């Protein structure tokens, strides 16, 4: 059976990259002695799939991975055993058995919510709180997206589902599907360019970003209904 | 949450920030107000290398079992962070507490290879600790060196307050108690060091004076205070089955060089190869009890979640309960989907059988280390391996499906002639021919692949070859050329690939290995000129080293190619590693006679290590 595990990543752990987090969980799962399934072959590995890599430097309250289990005592048992193996900054938030028909975590990802705040002394000099509505009021927001092979022009506007002010932070819900994933810094760069009339570029280390949640789409492409990955 | 020593934007700018944040599984946190002693343990190389070292894991575990001590780790910052720390004057810190090194009571530095010496200065310098022991004040940490290179500590003696000679499990408790007593009585740093020098294995360089003869060799080596020993006897654990062993080793977040459980099955080696320093330093051979090893293996796998376990020792095949241990591990690891790796196994029927069970034969290769190309030279170095044994082993392996062979040799061994160099190619060719004879055409999966690697021989202290002249760089390169041509002229040369080692760095390693106190000035100067990470080929700046030797009026040849007389006082002669100089000299003469010496299990040679009262010397006597 397939089990979905939700975890958070904070503090110093934000400096640990995605591949190392996978290795970290492989070892934690071995230590926790839960009955995970292994692939067959000469070097068997745990059957595990992560929803969405989190960039180095980002924190998160909504990370997910799926594992294939041979047997389980209960979700509570897995949660307790895994939490006993976590280091400071890592926490297992939820464990649930997936219904048979649910696709794997990675394929299910449709959107992600981020909270963005400014590092101390790095707040923009333009009136950013007031400019937010103006930025979102645009019909289209063209940016250049760098890919490994080339760069292409892209309209960000349809990929931004929500973007609003929450105390001194900006919260945004953006497309995170494999075809249209948008990085929050890309949105913020466009916001800086628009709001400062290209006078004030976003600095490399100005932002503190937390992924708040990762969502699947329970609706249709035209009328999406975003639900957290553990509520499918 | 702990506050990190480095700002986010620094950590996000540098390569692999995980090297500097601590917080790893099984790392130990303590309340600094609840301990008396803060100990920083350093491996002066990059984190991934340092974290792979078993010795530090053993000592880290031991120190942290002491309730009054908190032991933390520190490694060399990589060059990217090094530049930032210098620029911003950020003091080097320990990983666990993220506190600056200069606030610790002790900084212990493990000395695993000579080419790390400039990195020691980097750690001290970034740690804002004076480089020279004589310049340190009452508040600076006591800087201790240990590990194999402390058996000739002289080239770095000026930088250390203390060297701990020998195995760490035995005398640290006593040292810490002396330290606490001195602190309590408000005694000075110097007074503490004098007290420390009375403990077994402790060498305080400042308390000994060296004088030199006109020819540059040592005239005398004497203590300059009373009541401290003239010779320093190494520390050794005689009961290796009832001592510290880390059941919860620290697990790095990033992939370390050794990303596996390391199970040290024995210490020492019975073989007595005449070039090998470890084979002499760790005498006598002491085996760990097989039940202890089974217990440790299971505990460590449970506590780490590693997916691989590796047996470590100088020569695993000589461990008397190997079959029992391996059978146990195969059974347990099968259940838990854990891989087993068995380095340093002699190729024979047993090891081939085991390897078939634990490895994918198609992907693995056979390793032989004949070290020399002819039987004559193998007799000189006392390497018991014969051509017949190699060819038989290879034949069995080829029948079992292997088709890749790695061969290791040394160039520049004493008495070497062109015949020995050409012998390397001939032996490789014989192995290839054996493959084609053994495996019928229709069963072959492509050509046999033989990889020949040669390193350059570097004479080391406490070996029978400590008297031997080392080759020059030009000799080395010529020999590699002759070897290469020898391989190219073989019938099966298309199946043989040849790699050789850098010659520059070997020459320098030779200087540092047998250097004296005067070399310290060169090390400091090259460090100030920007040399660090000399063990990393792409970072090694040979020109700077060579010109600095000239500046300091020291000759490289004096330390490397010079023929040493039998009555010369060596810089390391004040250390007693158990093996006597008389025995080493006897072995040096046996080498010149091309005479083979039996191993410790066959016949005791009276090397001197029997006086420790245990191990292989007393096997079967109970």
Per-residue pLDDT of A112-171, as tens digits, reads: 999 999 999 999 999 999 999 999 999 999 998 877 788 888 999 999 999 999 999 999
Say which CATH topology domain A2-102 has: Alpha-Beta Plaits (3.30.70)
Min Cα separation B10/chain A (Å):
9
How far is the C-alpha of B576 from the C-alpha of B580, rounded, in Å?
7
Contact: B2, A88; criterion CB under 8 Å: yes
Backbone angles phi, psi at B204, to 5 degrees: -110, 100
Count CB atoms within 10 A of the CB of residue B562: 16
SS3 B179: helix
First to last CA, chain B: 55
Nearest CB to B25; choose among A11, A15, A87: A87
Contact: A27, B25; criterion CB under 8 Å: yes
pLDDT of B621 reads 67
Residue B160 contacts residue B147 (beta carbons within 8 Å): no
Contact: A26, B303; criterion CB under 8 Å: no
Residue B52 contacts residue B288 (beta carbons within 8 Å): no
Residue B522 contacts residue B548 (beta carbons within 8 Å): yes
**Backbone conformation region of residue A164, classed left if phi is above 0, alpha if psi is from -120 to 50, else beta:** beta
- Residues of A in Cβ contact (< 8 Å) with B12: 15, 56-57, 204-205
Contact: B1, A88; criterion CB under 8 Å: yes
Backbone angles phi, psi at B35, to 5 degrees: -120, 155
pLDDT of B622 reads 53
Query: How much of chain A, in percent, has pLDDT values that exceed 90?
Result: 85
Nearest CB to A44; choose among B8, B17, B337: B337
For CA atoms A220, A223, A229, A230, the dihedral sign is negative
Name beta bridge partners: B246. Answer: none
SS3 B487: helix
Residue B212 DSSP symbol: E
Separation of CA B559 from chain center: 21
Q: Both tokens of residue A208?
A: 């503190």
Inter-chain Cβ pairs, chain A and chain B, closer than 8 A: 76
Region A176-183 average pLDDT: 92
How far is the C-alpha of B438 from the C-alpha of B399, rounded, in Å?
7
B185: exposed, middle or buried (C-beta count within 10 Å: 0-12, 13-18, 19+)? exposed
Q: Tell whether the model's pLDDT for residue A221 goes beyond 90.
A: no
pLDDT of B502 reads 85
Per-residue pLDDT of B171-192, as tens digits, reads: 999 999 999 999 999 999 999 9
* Range list for CATH 3.40.50 in chain B: 8-233
For residue B342, which of B302, B369, B315 has the smallest C-alpha distance? Answer: B315
Q: Both tokens of residue A212?
A: 């708040």
How far is the C-alpha of B545 from the C-alpha of B521, rounded, in Å?
11
pLDDT of B356 reads 85
Name beta bridge partners: A166. Answer: A169
Q: What angle do CA B475, B477, B479 make, to 5 degrees?
A: 70
Helices (H) and strands (E) in chain B, counts: 20, 19
The residue count for chain A: 232
Q: Tell whether the model's pLDDT for residue A40 goes beyond 90.
A: no
Which B positions 73-112 lie with beta carbon below 8 A of chain A? Answer: none
Min Cα separation B68/chain A (Å):
24
Contact: A16, B8; criterion CB under 8 Å: no
**Domain boundaries of chain A, sorted by first residue:** 2-102, 107-231
Per-residue pLDDT of A76-115, as tens digits, reads: 999 999 999 999 999 999 999 999 888 888 889 999 999 9
The b/e string for B520-535 (b: 16+ C-beta within 10 A; e otherwise) is bbbbbbbbeeebbbbb
DSSP B418-447: HHHHHHHHHHHHHHHHHHHHHS-GGG--S-
The CATH class for the domain spanning B8-233 reads: alpha beta
How far is the C-alpha of B397 from the C-alpha of B400, rounded, in Å?
5
pLDDT of B446 reads 83
The residue count for chain B: 622
Contact: B360, A119; criterion CB under 8 Å: no
Residues on chain A bordering chain B, Cβ-to-Cβ distance under 8 angstroms: 10-13, 15-17, 20, 23-24, 26-31, 33, 38, 42-44, 56-57, 85, 87-89, 119, 204-205
Contact: A43, B9; criterion CB under 8 Å: no
Q: Both tokens of residue B525?
A: 């100067």
- Residues of B in Cβ contact (< 8 Å) with A88: 1-2, 23
SS3 B526: helix
Separation of CA A81 from chain center: 24
Contact: B305, A119; criterion CB under 8 Å: no
The b/e string for B138-153 (b: 16+ C-beta within 10 A; e otherwise) is eebbbbbbbbbbbbbb
For residue A28, which of A15, A9, A52, A55 has the smallest C-alpha distance? Answer: A9
SS3 B74: strand
Per-residue pLDDT of B78-121, as tens digits, reads: 999 999 999 999 999 999 999 999 999 999 999 999 999 999 99
* Spans of chain B, pLDDT less than 70: 621-622
Q: Provide the whole-model pTM.
A: 0.95
């Amino acid at each position: 059976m397939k089990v979905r595990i939700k975890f958070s990543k904070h503090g110093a752990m934000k400096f640990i990259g995605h591949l190392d987090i996978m290795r970290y969980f492989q070892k934690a799962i071995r230590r926790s002695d839960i009955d995970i399934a292994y692939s067959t072959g000469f070097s068997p590995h745990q059957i595990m799939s992560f929803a969405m890599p989190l960039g180095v430097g980002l924190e998160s309250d909504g990370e997910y991975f799926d594992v294939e289990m041979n047997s389980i005592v209960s979700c509570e048992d897995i949660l307790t055993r895994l939490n006993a193996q976590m280091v400071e900054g890592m926490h297992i938030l939820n464990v649930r058995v997936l219904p048979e028909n649910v696709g794997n975590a990675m394929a299910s990802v449709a959107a992600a919510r981020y909270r963005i705040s400014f590092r101390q002394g790095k707040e923009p000099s333009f009136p950013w709180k007031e400019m937010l509505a103006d930025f979102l009021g645009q019909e289209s927001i063209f940016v250049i997206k760098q890919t490994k092979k080339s760069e292409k022009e892209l309209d960000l506007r349809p990929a931004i589902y929500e973007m609003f002010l929450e105390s001194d932070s900006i919260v945004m819900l953006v497309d995170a599907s494999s075809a249209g994933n948008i990085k929050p810094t890309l949105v913020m760069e466009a916001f800086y360019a628009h709001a400062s009339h290209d006078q004030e570029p976003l600095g490399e280390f100005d932002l503190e970003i937390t992924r708040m949640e990762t969502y699947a789409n329970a609706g249709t492409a035209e009328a999406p209904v975003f639900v957290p990955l553990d509520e499918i | 949450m702990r506050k990190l020593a480095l700002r986010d934007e620094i950590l996000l700018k540098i390569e692999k920030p995980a090297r500097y944040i601590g917080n790893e599984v099984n790392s130990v946190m303590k309340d600094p107000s609840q301990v008396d002693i803060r100990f920083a343990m350093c491996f002066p190389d990059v984190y991934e290398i340092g974290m792979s070292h078993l010795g530090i894991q053993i000592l880290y575990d031991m120190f942290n079992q002491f309730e009054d001590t908190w032991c933390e780790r520190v490694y060399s910052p990589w060059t990217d962070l090094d530049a930032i720390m210098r620029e911003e004057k950020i003091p080097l810190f320990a990983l666990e507490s993220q506190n600056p090194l200069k606030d610790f009571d002790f900084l212990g530095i493990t000395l695993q290879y000579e080419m790390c010496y400039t990195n020691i200065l980097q750690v001290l310098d970034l740690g804002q600790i004076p480089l020279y022991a004589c310049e340190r004040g009452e508040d600076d940490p006591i800087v201790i060196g240990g590990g194999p290179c402390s058996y000739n500590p002289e080239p770095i003696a000026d930088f250390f307050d203390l060297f701990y000679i020998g195995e760490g499990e035995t005398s640290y408790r006593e040292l810490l108690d002396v330290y606490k007593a001195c602190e309590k009585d408000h005694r000075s740093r110097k007074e503490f060091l004098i007290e420390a020098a009375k403990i077994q294995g402790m060498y305080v360089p400042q308390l000994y004076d060296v004088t030199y003869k006109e020819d540059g060799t040592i005239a005398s080596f004497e203590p300059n205070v009373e009541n401290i020993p003239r010779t320093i006897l190494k520390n050794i654990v005689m009961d290796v089955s009832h001592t510290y062993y880390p059941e919860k080793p620290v697990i790095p977040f990033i992939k370390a060089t050794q990303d596996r459980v390391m199970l040290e099955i024995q210490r020492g080696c019975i073989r007595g190869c005449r070039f090998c320093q470890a084979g002499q330093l760790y005498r006598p051979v002491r085996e760990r009890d097989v039940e202890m090893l089974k217990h440790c293996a299971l505990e460590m796998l449970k506590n780490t979640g590693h997916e691989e376990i590796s047996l470590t020792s100088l020569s695993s095949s000589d461990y008397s309960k190997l079959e029992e241990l391996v059978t146990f591990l195969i059974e347990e690891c099968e259940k838990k989907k854990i891989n087993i790796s068995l380095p340093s196994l002699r190729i024979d029927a047993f090891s081939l059988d085991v390897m078939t069970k634990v490895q994918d034969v198609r992907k693995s290769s056979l390793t032989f280390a004949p070290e020399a190309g002819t039987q004559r030279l193998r007799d000189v170095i006392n390497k018991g391996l014969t051509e017949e044994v190699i060819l038989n082993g290879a034949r069995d392996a080829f029948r079992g499906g292997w088709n890749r062979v790695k061969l290791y040799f040394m160039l520049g061994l004493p008495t070497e002639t062109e015949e020995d160099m050409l012998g390397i190619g001939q032996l490789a060719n014989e192995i290839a021919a054996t493959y084609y004879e053994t495996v019928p055409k229709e069963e072959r999966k492509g050509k046999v692949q033989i990889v020949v690697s040669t390193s350059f021989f570097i004479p080391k202290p406490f070996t029978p070859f400590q008297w031997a002249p080392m080759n020059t760089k030009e000799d080395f390169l010529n020999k590699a050329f002759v070897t290469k041509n020898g391989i190219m002229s073989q019938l099966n040369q298309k199946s043989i690939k040849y790699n050789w080692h850098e010659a520059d760095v070997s020459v320098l390693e030779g200087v540092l290995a047998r250097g004296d106190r005067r070399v310290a000035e060169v090390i400091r100067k090259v460090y100030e000129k920007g040399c660090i990470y000399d063990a990393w080929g792409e970072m090694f700046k040979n020109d700077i080293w060579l010109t600095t030797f000239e500046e300091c009026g020291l000759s490289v040849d004096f330390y490397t190619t010079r023929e040493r007389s039998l009555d010369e006082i060596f810089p390391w002669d004040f250390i007693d590693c158990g093996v006597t100089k008389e025995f080493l000299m006897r072995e040096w003469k046996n080498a010149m006679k091309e005479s083979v010496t039996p191993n410790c299990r066959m016949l005791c040679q009276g090397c001197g290590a029997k006086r420790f009262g245990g191990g292989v010397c007393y096997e079967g006597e109970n």
